[in-house]
Amino acid sequence: MTTPTIKLSSGYDMPIVGFGLWKVNNDTCADQVYEAIKAGYRLFDGACDYGNEVEAGQGVARAIKEGIVRREDLFIVSKLWNSFHDGDRVEPIARKQLADWGVDYFDLYIVHFPISLKYVDPSVRYPPSWNSEAGKVELGNATIQETWTAMESLVDKSLARSIGISNFSAQLLMDLLRYARVRPATLQIEHHPYLTQTRLVDYAQREGIAITAYSSFGPLSFLELQVTKAENTPPLFEHETIKSIAAKHGKTPAQVLLRWATQRNIAVIPKSNNPARLAQNLDVVGFDLESTEIEAISALDKGLRFNDPHNYDLPVTIF
């Protein structure tokens, strides 16, 4: 199965459906990546903070060794963590992450959050997390412009083919575009029917910046957080609007949620260790929702954000 792509402003093609590595366990990660490649996935979305890049790279290496894919067939994404925002810290950590993956370049390297934390050496704490060596959140002094200038140098040195951002507001994006020599190719955001972020999506796409949605299934990845219970909001898989549309098309609720995004040219990065669901999640461009169905799903918006540092009792106000 060939996955459709989105043409990035950098000139490269990014698969519109990928495999997300957040919360993929270390002991299964290599096998999950390998099996996902066998199933047809070509985009893998990682980050140093996920703590599984070595294992993800092992899965990639196995697939390449067996001749299933070549490196150039894959689109590997990683992210710069908050504690490496100082200009002189960006390239060293990117090189470490490349070594962990066992590759020479990232297809896309993303600023994970628009916030600088105090530097913590990887020998002291890695994966880095939100806390410093003192066990608390300590802000750093790097500006976004300083960080972005260092990100641009990764493109100059062919360590990253494209660079992007994640969890940025429209205002921060506007500011970044004023001084960016290399424009961000993508913006990755939490995006699902309970948090549509329509104005942000529209603005970024008008600027030629591709959107990647994470947490496409809403609260499913955040069941341990009390916010999912306090809002008295049903899981999207069980919502009558989603279920009825899925039944009409003979698809699963997950496929409907992913198609709601991809039909609007928004990339998605679901994950699964179930072979059937792996295939189903990849097969989300072979049918179309009616415009009224897209509108009905979008109407479920509650402005309900799950991936907010405050939900983890972290005193970091980003959103």
Active site residues: 50
- What is the C-alpha separation between 40 and 24, in angstroms, rounded? 18
Closest CA to 79 of 37, 104, 114: 114
CB-count exposure of residue 313 (10 Å: 0-12, 13-18, 19+): exposed
- What's 186's DSSP letter? E
Q: DSSP assignment of 109-162, as one string?
A: EEE-SS--B----TTTSSS--S--TTSS--B----HHHHHHHHHHHHHTTSEEE
Closest CA to 164 of 146, 179, 152: 152
8 A C-beta contact, residue 36 and residue 19:
yes
Residue type, 253: P
Dihedral of alpha carbons 207, 78, 97, 161, sign? negative
Element (H, E) at 107: strand 106-111
Ligand-binding annotation for 85, yes or no, is no
Q: DSSP assignment of 250-271, as one string?
A: T--HHHHHHHHHHTTTEEE---
User: Which backbone phi and psi does 305 adopt, to 5 degrees?
Assistant: -100, 130
8 A C-beta contact, residue 29 and residue 21:
yes
User: Which residues is 210 bridged to in the sheet?
Assistant: 186
Question: Which residue positions form the known binding site for substrate?
Answer: 112
Annotated binding site: 112
